[in-house]
Amino acid sequence: MDRQEARERAARLVAQMTLEEKMSQLRYDAPAIDRLGIPAYNWWGEALHGVARAGSATSFPQAVGMAATFDEELLGEIAGVIAEEGRAKYNAYSGEGDRDIYKGLTFWSPNINIFRDPRWGRGQETYGEDPYLTGQLGKAFVRGLQGDGEYMKAAACAKHFAVHSGPEAVRHSFDAVVSPKDLNETYLPAFEQLVCEAGVESVMGAYNRTNGEPCCANKPLMEETLRGKWGFEGHFVSDCWAIRDFHENHHVTKTAAESAALAINTGCDLNCGNTFLHLMEAYEQGLISEDKITQAAERLFTTRYLLGLFDETEFDDIPYSVVECDEHLKVAERAAEESIVLLKNNGILPLGGGVKTIGVIGPNANSRAALVGNYHGTATEYITPLDGILHYAQKKAAESGEKIRVLYSEGCDITQDRIEHLAVENDRISEAMIVAENSDVVVLVLGLNETLEGEEGDTGNSYASGDKTDLLLPASQRTLMNALAESGKSVICCLIAGSAMDLGSAQDNFDAVIQCWYPGARGGEALAKILFGEVSPSGKLCVTFYHDDDPMPDFEDYSMKGRTYRYLEADPLYPFGYGLTYGNVQVKAAAFTKSDAGAGSVELTCVNESDTDTGDVLQVYVSLDSPDAPPHPRLCGFKRVSLKAGEEKRFTVELDPYTFTVIDGAGERKAFKGPAVLYAGTSQPDALSTRLTGTEPAALLVQAD
């Protein structure tokens, strides 16, 4: 069904409603209108990395982990699985007459905010720090979720529009002041791509203000840019209870009725919260017209018609048996494998046949909570790193009779810092040291979980409302690290966390370092395959890893100066785009081809100069000699590839259509004319990447006109 037909049907239906009935449909928990045959519908659904909060579902790596795959095709496939399981659940629940929260087909995902500051607890929900990568992966996710059939399979939502990335503690009252250049160069591009290129069905406003106006009633963002310049035709939804913030925290209105009116009049169609219960009061005070109410209702029912909720569709027979089916679990495991990033390897990996006893140590080694991050569903089976290593050991023994002993110690509490518990901590460290002493190699699994970083209100990290105050691991874990560093044993450090942590000590003292993110319910299986060489690691960092003692801008400063790889002023610990493999993919030749339709493409001849099959990510960066360009080359193209041992292949990497453009101080995009440099390789073109990988990207001098 095309949008015009859905809009016409919505208009005819809404025209039959009373004013009170129209208003009732603008709440996230819209009630039934029996006389018109309209069932109740709850708009609140979550699907960040699997159908969330609605029972069992396939569990994928957290969004930041999915971003580390640099794999658009995979993101689309993951979203397709989520949509199928969402439909299966909707069919089953509605068949039981259950139309409650989290059981609909409108999913408030993806989160395409820019992870500009590593302290932000919700950064784990994003696709990293780069606007181009975020836009490409976000588009793939939206297309996979919504599908391309007669009806939408599910409705996606781009959030949180538009300048939002912490701090969590002040988000309900905070004004994110941003320059026109940073707004249009960093914070808006991904939203524009999802609206204009992927046709995302809804957009969610953020809690904070942007340049003085609340994001759920922001005229420049919502009227001039979203619906004006970009031509957005879907519906706009508030973040939950964000409209209440207008009068309680932002103080831009005085009453709930004024807040409801401000939101409706600026184009917010759907209220997650209860402030729209005051719409009638606002109407009676002359603050809103019935036309505005009608417009919002028609937009919402257009979405319901596009989903086929009043028709028979091809999705009605999707059975509940698809939830966590074998095919979906295989996609989740492949995603976990592609997301894991190898940061250091002195040759210890993959583990060889000489390893007879493995010590698995650390508070996240056998933690289910550490697998899933926030906004997650419930898995039928959780495979922790300890489980995965045990499974491999059992498999090895069954196949070859070669026995691998696995010893385990929690080592320390994940966050215990208090002095009165030192005796317990010392006891745990003693056990960890005993395990290490009796092992050939130690797999140390550290990190965080959703109680230590996440969304304000959903976390136990009350002192920082879900954000981190620094980049250090909790003191208990640092004590354990120091003890193992002094043990003389070979140690592989695996970090399970949703953000950049200071791994300087691990880099200096341990044999290998691996970033696992929150890998999903079966992530331990993927990690074991990488440790033992069944799979070559191939993930890349979608965020910069800093040293903790590097000076960082104030968290509340939304200027990009000094932030992310594009504007960084210090050497990072690990750069954006970095990640090692067990192979050795080299770019042997590169050629640029202009295009009338866009910026063009780069053709790369690559060879895997190793005896190991591997995946890798080809990356193209552009450097423009313009005062309006970022000081460092920026990502403008990427492609995930696979190469067998010794194989040589040609690949084409399409470039961002805006590759040869810059954003000036007024926020206007301008064409760049003159010589430009394109860098093509498997990492970022900086000295640190070259030093860490041992390879240097190919450089192409091209003419931009």
> Is pLDDT above 80 for 124?
yes
Considering the chain, what percentage of its residues have pLDDT values greater than 70? Answer: 98
3-class state of residue 292 by DSSP = helix
CATH-assigned architecture of domain 3-321: Alpha-Beta Barrel (3.20)
Predicted local distance difference test score (pLDDT) of residue 461: 67
Q: Could you tell me the pLDDT band of residue 416, with boundaries at 50, 70 and 90?
A: low
Predicted local distance difference test score (pLDDT) of residue 46: 98
Q: Could you tell me the pLDDT band of residue 418, with boundaries at 50, 70 and 90?
A: very low
What are the start and end residues of each CATH 3.20.20.300 domain in the chain?
3-321
> Is pLDDT above 60 for 5?
yes
What are the start and end residues of each CATH 2.60.40.10 domain in the chain?
585-704
Q: Could you tell me the pLDDT band of residue 240, with boundaries at 50, 70 and 90?
A: very high
CB 449 within 8 A of CB 364: yes
d(Cα 386, Cα 377) in Å, to the nearest integer? 22
Which tens digit of pLDDT belongs to each residue from 642-654? 999 999 999 999 9
Matching residue, tokens 């990072």: 572
> Is pLDDT above 70 for 241?
yes
| CA neighbours closer than 13 Å in the CB half-sphere of residue 305 | 22
Which tens digit of pLDDT belongs to each residue from 541-587? 999 999 987 788 999 999 999 999 999 999 999 999 999 999 999 99
Instruction: Please give the model's pTM, rounded to 2 decimal places.
Output: 0.97
> Is pLDDT above 60 for 417?
no
CATH class of 330-547: alpha beta
Rg (CA), the chain: 26
**Average of per-residue pLDDT across 333-337:** 98
Which tens digit of pLDDT belongs to each residue from 443-474? 999 999 999 999 998 766 655 689 999 999 99
Amino acid at residue number 219: K
> Is pLDDT above 60 for 421?
no
Count of CB atoms within 10 A of residue 386's CB?
23
CB 162 within 8 A of CB 214: no
> Is pLDDT above 90 for 517?
yes
Matching residue, tokens 């970083």: 453
What are the start and end residues of each CATH 3.40.50.1700 domain in the chain?
330-547
CB 538 within 8 A of CB 514: no
Matching residue, tokens 């209105």: 253
Q: How many residues does the chain have?
A: 705
Q: Could you tell me the pLDDT band of residue 678, with boundaries at 50, 70 and 90?
A: very high
Which tens digit of pLDDT belongs to each residue from 256-271? 999 999 999 999 999 9
| CA neighbours closer than 13 Å in the CB half-sphere of residue 191 | 30
Which tens digit of pLDDT belongs to each residue from 147-184? 999 999 999 999 999 999 999 999 999 999 999 999 99
Which secondary-structure segment (H or E) carries 210? Answer: strand 209-210
Which tens digit of pLDDT belongs to each residue from 599-611? 999 999 999 999 9
What lies within 8 Å, CB to CB, of 148 at 6+ separation is: none
> Is pLDDT above 70 for 424?
no
d(Cα 373, Cα 267) in Å, to the nearest integer? 33
d(Cα 24, Cα 98) in Å, to the nearest integer? 19
| Nearest partner of 636 among 651, 650, 653, 652, judged by Cα | 653
Which secondary-structure segment (H or E) carries 616? Answer: strand 614-624
Which residues form the catalytic set? 239, 453
CB 472 within 8 A of CB 391: no
CB 61 within 8 A of CB 335: yes
Q: Could you tell me the pLDDT band of residue 665, with boundaries at 50, 70 and 90?
A: very high
For 325, left (φ over 0), alpha (ψ -120 to 50), or beta? beta
Count of CB atoms within 10 A of residue 629's CB?
19
Which tens digit of pLDDT belongs to each residue from 357-375? 999 999 999 999 999 999 9
d(Cα 230, Cα 223) in Å, to the nearest integer? 10
CB 566 within 8 A of CB 543: no
**Average of per-residue pLDDT across 25-46:** 98
Task: Please spell the DSSP secondary structure of 642-697, one letter per residue.
Answer: EE-TT-EEEEEEEPPTTTTEEE-TTS-EEE--EEEEEEEESS-SSHHHHHHHS---
Lowest mean pLDDT among 253-257, 319-323, 364-368, 416-420: 416-420
> Is pLDDT above 60 for 622?
yes
Q: Is 619 exposed, middle or buried (0-12, 13-18, 19+ CB in 10 A)?
A: buried
Give the CATH fold of the 585-704 domain: Immunoglobulin-like (2.60.40)
> Is pLDDT above 90 for 396?
no
Predicted local distance difference test score (pLDDT) of residue 705: 82
d(Cα 341, Cα 399) in Å, to the nearest integer? 28
